[in-house]
């Protein structure tokens, strides 16, 4: 509530610049004679005294209970708030938690009451990741500007919105978001704005905000001119005109070497924070992966072939237009194919469900498939996972995509006397907390679905089993990221279970192993994949359906080569950034990993 | 000293008569307004990690919930116990005299003490609590800011809604006077930052315009020499017309960037009313005789005693007309302070006015 009915308006009192507020109706209570005891009055004043805080970060105590704040992150947040007036390029090396830093800055400003309208621009693949990160770690409710987010009501209807940069560029959307003065604008993967002639850049230039955070591990992809463009968005004119900048700081015509390093450092230190892994002194553990490839039993092979043929016939029966734009029917068929690869109970349930709605002929066909599923008995992967659990002494995190598979794995492991906890999006918050507690304390295994797993901190566990394998490498990375993150002190072991000759087997061999997915450091993947990630799953499925296993294999091989090139390119860019910023100290740390 | 979050929460639970059951370091709380909901809270981080209950800290959901409730209850009434006029007069420091109380006339008064949270935000935020204390005659009561005496609860008498409303209105004026200076300083500082930012932007765009003109001039000179076709430059391929277009574009961008900076450096000043206490108190108009120890001089004095025992208007020195620290009453009835005594080390101290 703003100014109460007894409060004068600014004009009335002549206090043209002082706004008087009474959000708790103190004046009304006073006038109505609603008095409380002196103890309440004292407690009321104490609440303000506590909130004013004396520690470096006002939001510190709250955040401490939800996230592990690293010294370099706290220093970066303080530097951005105290010295950069909230406009900065957060350019830490990959894996140092830039997203967390940005969210911490937001939290701090929000607690101070300086920020209420927030816009986050991200690549399309990361919108929901941001939403979950903010929800689970910061208890902040943001809406993704997408029809897929049920909370989304319109581009001008939300104060806290996450929007993909591709959507934001559309003229109707751009008009709406550019017409708002945002308190805070966060641009993730800001290297996408490197070129000042692109729509991305023009959009960023047209947006107005009090505070601006741009996040990228690689502020320049090719040359220093790109860094100039980014800084120009944050503080136009800081680096002078482009010609002046080039003549002052470029040591070669390609802009890949720096002249006047110290002068550049001085200017950049006003808008840029960059901490390297070396400067943090944090332990960065390794990842080791092992693929357990199993030969299918005859019954498993027959089931795989039969269901795949069923899916293919359904897919090919769809009109071409639907196939091309990945309609709901296509999505359902992809899911069916993935349920098949996940476990027999998962595919059985899916087939039964389809049977309920199917016509007589299709129902008959589905009935035969169900009979085949019944003949499988125990899945070969299940036998392998039991062996793995028996042979391992530490805690194990097993990921399954589907709830039926989760339940199947749980029941199978409990039969051999293993204490198992489960975690899924179907559980409520209390059940999830109890599960995590159980895993931490006495359960040896946590069987987890991806849904709802965001925000879990499981650094006490270092063994991950992919019981089934997502077709999207980002999802694999998110799974591993639950244990391999800042704060993990041991090397992480990843076991992938696949059946020989299946599509997942090829994805693993020709795609994931090619880009060395399981050896990547935290955060690398986004840099490598870019928007390509969204296309992987439908592309594989389409080629599998239209050209069979051989066609799919070729497609996956081609993708693998493409991603391999992307990986090499990303490595070159990272090295280039390291080289250019070598000797340019922009970290708020003192070099010993402390403030 | 500020209370800790734990002290705050426990006091809240007690005052609100909420149910709380401890289990180790975890506290299961049912708030009075919603008995069906159980909050599991803790003040220990280890416990929060282990049991999955909420670590209560500033900004955490449970803290926010109870702080909001406490903040709605920041209105109280209290009366200040009466001061004993005789004892209060005895406390006035005298060198060679003392007070004899003749009469004390009591006046019942009301006061309103309001606490505002004053916030100034530009790109940063500064906050402080500002108190405004006024009597029912609209006069500011400086003594009330430091008053630490005991207060008694009760019900207000003899003050109505209209009087309180006019006190509230008066408090806004006093508040404005109190924050005016600080507000001005911050405005000046922000103006300075803004003008630096505007200068940076203006010189940046001036440079861009110069560069565009230079390139176009160069292109034109090359064209005149015939070394280039169609008035185009070597490096930039910019014609004079293109340069003009670019300059117009720079003008627009410059105006936009300056506008953005102006928005960023806008000063917002807010005063949020956070608590109010209505007080009733008695002041005494005392008629007293000041008599020196020799008994050869006396003087009648009228003082108004405040509830904290201080005199409302300070007693002034007859010589320098400034407030007296310790009173000296000379044989001729002059009341002077220590500083206005002439010191004659061999025979003592004498009144500056009359040597008495």
Q: What is the pLDDT of residues A510-538, one digit of tens each?
A: 888 877 777 666 566 666 766 677 778 88
How far apart are the C-alpha atoms of B56 and B41, rounded to whole Å? 6
The Cα of A227 is separated from the nearest Cα of chain B by a number of Å equal to 17
Apex B141 CA angle, B140 and B147, nearest 5: 155
Task: Tell which wins on pLDDT, B6 or A585.
Answer: B6
Torsions phi, psi for B105 (to 5 deg)? -105, 115
Q: Which residues of B touch A460 (CB under 8 A)?
A: none
Q: Is the pLDDT of residue B62 over 60?
A: yes
Q: How far is CA B307 from CA A497, B83, B103, B264, B278, in A?
A: 83, 6, 17, 48, 15
* A20-34, A440-454, B138-152: least confidently modelled range: A440-454
Q: Is the pLDDT of residue A77 over 60?
A: yes
Q: Do B200 and A65 touch (CB under 8 A)?
A: no
> In percent, how much of chain B has pLDDT > 90?
29
Task: Tell which wins on pLDDT, B333 or A178.
Answer: A178
Closest CA to A200 of A161, A172, A166, A171: A166
Query: Closest residue of A to B4, CA-based?
Result: A50
Q: Which residues of B touch A211 (CB under 8 A)?
A: 123
What pLDDT does A287 receive?
85
| ipTM (interface pTM) | 0.83
How far apart are the C-alpha atoms of B143 and B311, rounded to whole Å? 10
**HEC readout, A74-143:** HHHHHHHHHCCCCEEEECCCCCCCHHHHHHHHHHHHHHHCCCCCEEEEECHHHHHHHHHHHHHHHCCCCE
Q: Is the pLDDT of residue A411 over 90?
A: yes
The Cα of A226 is separated from the nearest Cα of chain B by a number of Å equal to 18
> In percent, how much of chain B has pLDDT > 70?
90
What pLDDT does A2 receive?
37
**HEC readout, A357-417:** HCCHHHHHHHHHHHHHHHCCCCCHHHHHHHHHHHHCCCCEEEEECCHHHHHHHHHHHHHCC
Mean pLDDT for chain A?
85
Q: B321-347 pLDDT, tens per residue?
A: 888 888 888 888 888 887 777 665 555
What pLDDT does B23 receive?
85
Q: B338: buried, middle or exposed (CB in 10 Å: 19+, 13-18, 0-12)?
A: middle
In this prediction the pTM is 0.71
Q: Could you give the angle at which helices A199-206 and A224-234 cross, rounded to 10 degrees?
A: 20
What pLDDT does A403 receive?
94
DSSP 8-state assignment for residue A510:
I
Report whether A211 contacts A89 (CB < 8 A): no
Q: B289-319 pLDDT, tens per residue?
A: 988 888 888 889 899 998 888 888 888 888 8
Torsions phi, psi for B64 (to 5 deg)? -60, -40
Task: Tell which wins on pLDDT, A134 or A252.
Answer: A134
How far apart are the C-alpha atoms of A584 and A590, rounded to whole Å? 13
Q: A84-112 pLDDT, tens per residue?
A: 989 999 998 877 889 999 999 999 898 88
What pLDDT does A254 receive?
79
Q: Do A31 and B51 touch (CB under 8 A)?
A: no
Torsions phi, psi for B222 (to 5 deg)? -65, -40
Q: N- to C-terminal Cα distance for chain A?
A: 41
Q: Do A18 and B125 touch (CB under 8 A)?
A: no
How far apart are the C-alpha atoms of A551 and A543, rounded to whole Å? 6
Q: Is the pLDDT of residue B233 over 50?
A: no
What pLDDT does A288 receive?
87
Q: A218: buried, middle or exposed (CB in 10 Å: 19+, 13-18, 0-12)?
A: buried
Structure tokens at B67: 């702080």
Q: Do B123 and A440 touch (CB under 8 A)?
A: no
Task: Tell which wins on pLDDT, A380 or A591.
Answer: A380
> In percent, how much of chain A has pLDDT > 90?
41
Of B5, B76, B211, the CB nearest to A241: B211
How far apart are the C-alpha atoms of A344 and A339, rounded to whole Å? 8
Q: Is the pLDDT of residue B240 over 80?
A: no
Q: Do B263 and A208 touch (CB under 8 A)?
A: yes
What pLDDT does A178 receive?
92
Mean pLDDT for chain B?
85
Q: A334-357 pLDDT, tens per residue?
A: 999 999 999 999 999 999 999 998
Q: Is the pLDDT of residue B236 over 60?
A: no
Apex A95 CA angle, A89 and A100, nearest 5: 60
Report whether A132 contacts A475 (CB < 8 A): no
Task: Give the number of other CB atoms < 10 A from CB of residue B342.
Answer: 12
How far apart are the C-alpha atoms of A434 and A447, rounded to whole Å? 14
What pLDDT does A203 receive?
95
Mean pLDDT across A416-429: 87
User: How many residues in total does chain A contain?
Assistant: 595
Report whether A137 contacts A67 (CB < 8 A): yes
Query: Closest residue of A to B266, CA-based?
Result: A210
What pLDDT does A452 receive?
53
Structure tokens at A326: 């990945």
* A128-132, A374-378, A521-525: least confidently modelled range: A521-525
Q: Do A47 and B70 touch (CB under 8 A)?
A: yes
Torsions phi, psi for B110 (to 5 deg)? -120, 155
Report whether A447 contacts A418 (CB < 8 A): no
Closest CA to A568 of A578, A580, A556, A560: A560
Question: Beta A396-400 vs B298-305: how paired, if at all?
Answer: unpaired
């Amino acid at each position: 509530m703003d100014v109460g009915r007894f409060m004068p308006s600014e004009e009335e009192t002549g206090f043209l610049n002082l706004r008087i507020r009474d959000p708790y109706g103190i004046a009304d209570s006073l006038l109505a004679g609603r008095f409380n005891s002196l103890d309440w009055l004292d407690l009321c004043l104490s609440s303000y005294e506590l909130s004013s805080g004396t520690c470096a970060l006002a939001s510190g105590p709250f955040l401490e209970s939800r996230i592990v704040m690293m010294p370099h992150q706290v220093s970066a947040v303080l530097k951005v708030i105290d010295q950069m007036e909230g406009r900065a390029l957060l350019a830490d090396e990959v894996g140092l938690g830039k997203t967390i830093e940005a969210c911490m800055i937001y939290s701090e400003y929000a607690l101070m009451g300086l920020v209420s309208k927030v816009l986050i621009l991200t690549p399309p693949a990361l919108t929901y990741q941001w939403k979950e990160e903010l929800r689970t770690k910061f208890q902040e409710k943001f809406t993704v500007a997408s029809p897929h987010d049920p909370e989304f009501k319109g581009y001008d209807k939300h104060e806290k919105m996450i929007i993909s940069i591709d959507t934001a560029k559309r003229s109707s959307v751009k008009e709406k978001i550019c017409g708002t003065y945002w308190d805070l604008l966060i641009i993730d993967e800001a290297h996408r704005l490197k070129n000042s002639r692109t729509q991305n850049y023009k959009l960023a230039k047209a947006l107005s905000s009090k505070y601006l955070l741009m996040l990228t591990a690689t502020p320049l992809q090719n040359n220093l001119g790109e860094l100039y463009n980014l800084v120009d968005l944050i503080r136009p004119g800081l680096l002078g005109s482009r010609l002046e900048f080039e003549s002052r700081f470029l040591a070669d015509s390609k802009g890949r070497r720096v002249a006047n390093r110290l002068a550049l450092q001085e200017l950049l230190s006003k808008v840029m924070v960059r901490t390297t892994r070396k400067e943090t002194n944090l332990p960065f553990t390794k990842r080791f992966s092992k693929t357990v490839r199993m030969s299918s039993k005859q019954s498993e092979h027959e089931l795989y072939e039969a269901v795949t043929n069923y899916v293919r016939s359904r897919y090919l029966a769809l009109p071409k237009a639907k196939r091309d734009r990945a309609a709901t029917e296509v999505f359902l068929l992809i899911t069916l194919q993935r349920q098949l690869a996940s476990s027999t109970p998962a595919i059985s349930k899916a087939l039964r469900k389809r049977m309920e709605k199917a016509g007589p002929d299709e129902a008959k066909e589905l009935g035969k498939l169900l009979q085949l599923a019944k003949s499988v008995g125990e899945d070969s992967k299940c036998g392998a996972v039991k062996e793995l659990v028996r042979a391992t002494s530490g805690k194990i995190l097993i990921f399954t995509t589907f709830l039926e598979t989760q339940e199947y794995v749980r029941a199978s492991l409990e039969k051999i006397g293993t204490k198992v906890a489960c975690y899924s999006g179907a559980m409520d918050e209390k059940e999830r907390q109890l599960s995590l507690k159980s895993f931490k304390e006495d359960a040896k295994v946590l069987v987890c679905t991806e849904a709802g797993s965001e925000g879990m901190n499981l650094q006490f566990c270092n063994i991950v089993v992919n019981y089934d394998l997502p077709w999207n490498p980002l999802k694999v990375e998110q799974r591993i990221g639950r244990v391999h993150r800042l704060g993990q002190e041991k090397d992480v072991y990843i076991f992938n279970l696949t059946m020989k000759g299946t599509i997942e087997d090829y994805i693993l061999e020709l795609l994931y192993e090619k880009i060395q997915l399981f050896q990547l450091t935290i955060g690398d993947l986004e840099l490598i994949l870019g928007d390509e990630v969204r296309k992987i799953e439908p592309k594989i499925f389409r080629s599998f359906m239209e050209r069979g296993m051989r066609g799919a294999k070729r497609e996956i091989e081609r993708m693998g080569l493409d991603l391999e090139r992307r990986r090499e390119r990303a490595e070159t860019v990272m090295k280039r950034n390291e080289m250019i910023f070598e000797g340019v100290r922009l970290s708020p740390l003192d070099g010993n990993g402390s403030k | 000293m500020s209370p800790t979050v734990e002290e705050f929460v426990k006091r809240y639970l007690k005052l609100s008569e909420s149910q709380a059951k401890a289990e180790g370091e975890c506290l299961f709380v049912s708030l009075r307004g919603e008995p069906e909901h159980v909050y599991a809270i803790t003040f220990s981080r280890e416990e929060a990690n282990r049991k999955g209950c909420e670590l209560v800290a500033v900004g955490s959901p449970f803290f926010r919930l109870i702080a909001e409730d406490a903040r709605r209850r920041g209105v109280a009434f209290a009366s200040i116990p009466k001061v004993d006029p005789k004892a209060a007069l005895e406390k006035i420091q005298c060198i060679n005299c003392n007070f004899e109380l003749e009469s004390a006339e009591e006046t019942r008064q009301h006061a309103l003490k309001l606490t505002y949270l004053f916030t100034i935000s530009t790109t940063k935020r500064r906050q402080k609590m500002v108190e405004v204390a006024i009597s029912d005659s609209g006069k500011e009561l400086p003594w009330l800011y430091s008053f630490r005496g005991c207060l008694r609860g009760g019900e207000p008498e003899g003050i109505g809604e209209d009087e309180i409303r006019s006190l509230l209105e008066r408090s806004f004026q006093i508040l404005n006077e109190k924050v005016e200076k600080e507000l001005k300083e911050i405005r000046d500082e922000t103006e300075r930052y803004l003008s630096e930012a505007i200068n940076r932007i203006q010189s940046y765009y001036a440079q861009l315009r110069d560069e565009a003109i230079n390139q176009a001039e160069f292109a034109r000179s090359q064209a005149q020499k015939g070394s280039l076709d169609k008035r185009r430059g070597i490096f930039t391929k910019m014609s004079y017309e293109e340069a003009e277009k670019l300059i117009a574009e720079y003008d627009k961008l410059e105006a936009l960037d300056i506008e953005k900076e102006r928005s960023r450096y806008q000063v917002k000043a807010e005063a949020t009313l956070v608590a109010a206490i209505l007080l009733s108190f008695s002041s005494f108009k005392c008629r007293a005789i000041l008599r020196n120890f020799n008994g050869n001089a006396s003087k009648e004095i009228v003082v108004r005693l405040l509830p904290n025992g201080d005199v409302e208007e300070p007693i002034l020195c007859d010589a320098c007309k400034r407030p007296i620290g310790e009173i000296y009453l000379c044989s001729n009835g002059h009341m002077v302070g220590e500083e206005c005594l002439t010191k004659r080390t061999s025979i003592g101290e004498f009144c500056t006015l009359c040597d008495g």
